[in-house]
Structure 1
Amino acid sequence: MARSGITRLQNTQGESDRKHVCITFGRSFLTLDLARLLAAAGHKVTIVDSIPLAVTRFSNATYDFYKTPSPKFQPREYCLELARICREQKIDVVIPIHEETDIISMMTDVFPPECTLFLSDFVIENGLHNKYDFQQLLADRNIPTLRFAELRSPEDVAALDFTTPFALKQCYSRGSQKVMKVYPGDPLTGLEFDPTNPWLAQEWLKGDKYCTYSVCHEGKVYAHATYPVRYAIDHNSCLTFESVEHQGILDWVTDFIADIGFTGQVGFDFIENEERGLFTIECNPRATSGIMMFSPQDRVDRAFFGENDEIIFPDPYKRKMIGPGMLIYGWRKSARPPGVSLRQYVRDYWETDDVITSFTDMRPAFMVPFAYANILRDCAKYHVGLAEGFMHDHEWDGVRI
Structure 2
Amino acid sequence: MFSGNAGSRYLATTLLRVDSAGRAHVLITFARSFLSLELARLMAAGGHRVTVVDSIPIAVSRYSNAVDEFHRVPPPKFEPLEYCQALAKIVADNDIDMVIPVHEETDIIAMLAELFPPECRLFLSDFDLENRLHHKYEFQKLLVELGIPTRKFARVAGPEDAAGLDFDKPFALKRCYSRGSQKVHKVQPGDPLTWLEHDELNPWVAQEWVSGDKYCTYSVCHEGRVYAHATYPVDYAIDGSSCLNFRAVEHPRIQAWVADLVERVGFTGQIGFDFIEDGPDKDLFCIECNPRATSGIMMFSPGDGVDRAFLGTSDPDVEVITPSPDVEKMIGIGMLLYGWRAPSRRGRSMAQFARDFRRSADVITRSGDQKPAIMLPLAYASILRSCAKYRVGLAEGFMHDHEWDGLRISI
Compute the TM-score of the two structures, normalised by the length of structure 2. 0.93
Whether 1:398 and 2:403 are equivalent positions in the alignment is: no
Per the TM alignment, residue 337 of structure 1 is displaced from its structure 2 partner at its CA by 2.7
What are the within-5 Å matches in structure 2 for residues 176-325 of structure 1? 176-275=181-280, 277-307=283-313, 309-325=318-334
Distance 2:361 2:332 in 1: 8
In structure 2, the partner of 1:126 is 131
In structure 2, the partner of 1:35 is 40
In structure 1, the partner of 2:78 is 73
The secondary structure found in structure 2 opposite 1:76 is: helix
Distance 1:359 1:288 in 2: 23
Distance 1:54 1:15 in 2: 32
The secondary structure found in structure 2 opposite 1:334 is: helix
Distance 2:114 2:209 in 1: 41
Q: Deviations over 1:201-251 (max 9, x none)?
A: 001011100000000000000000000000000101000000000010011
Q: Deviations over 1:363-394 (max 9, x none)?
A: 00000000001100010111100000000000
**% same residue:** 65
Q: What residue identity is the alignment partner of 1:284?
A: N
Whether 1:355 and 2:360 are equivalent positions in the alignment is: no
The secondary structure found in structure 2 opposite 1:48 is: strand
In structure 2, the partner of 1:64 is 69
The secondary structure found in structure 1 opposite 2:343 is: coil
The secondary structure found in structure 1 opposite 2:375 is: helix
Q: Deviations over 1:8-52 (max 9, x none)?
A: xxxxx9853110000000000000001001111110000000000
What are the within-5 Å matches in structure 2 for residues 41-190 of structure 1? 41-190=46-195
Q: CA RMSD in A?
A: 1.0
Per the TM alignment, residue 274 of structure 1 is displaced from its structure 2 partner at its CA by 2.5
Q: Deviations over 1:111-160 (max 9, x none)?
A: 00110000000000000000000000001111101110000111101100
Distance 1:101 1:168 in 2: 25
Whether 1:372 and 2:377 are equivalent positions in the alignment is: no
- Specify which of 318, 323, 344 is matched with residue 335 of structure 1: 344
Which consecutive unaligned segments of at least 5 residues does structure 1 have? Answer: 1-12
The secondary structure found in structure 2 opposite 1:205 is: coil
Distance 2:237 2:21 in 1: 42
In structure 2, the partner of 1:3 is none
Whether 1:326 and 2:335 are equivalent positions in the alignment is: yes
Which consecutive unaligned segments of at least 5 residues does structure 2 have? Answer: 1-17
Whether 1:382 and 2:390 are equivalent positions in the alignment is: yes
Q: What residue identity is the alignment partner of 1:330?
A: G
The secondary structure found in structure 1 opposite 2:345 is: coil
The secondary structure found in structure 1 opposite 2:289 is: strand
Structure 1's consecutive aligned runs of 4 or more residues displaced over 3 angstroms after TM superposition are 13-16
In structure 2, the partner of 1:4 is none
The secondary structure found in structure 2 opposite 1:65 is: strand
Per the TM alignment, residue 317 of structure 1 is displaced from its structure 2 partner at its CA by 3.1
Q: Deviations over 1:85-121 (max 9, x none)?
A: 0000000000000000000001110100110000000
Q: What residue identity is the alignment partner of 2:295?
A: S
13-22 vs 160-169, greater mean Cα deviation: 13-22
In structure 1, the partner of 2:4 is none
Distance 1:198 1:14 in 2: 47
In structure 2, the partner of 1:9 is none
Distance 2:288 2:272 in 1: 9
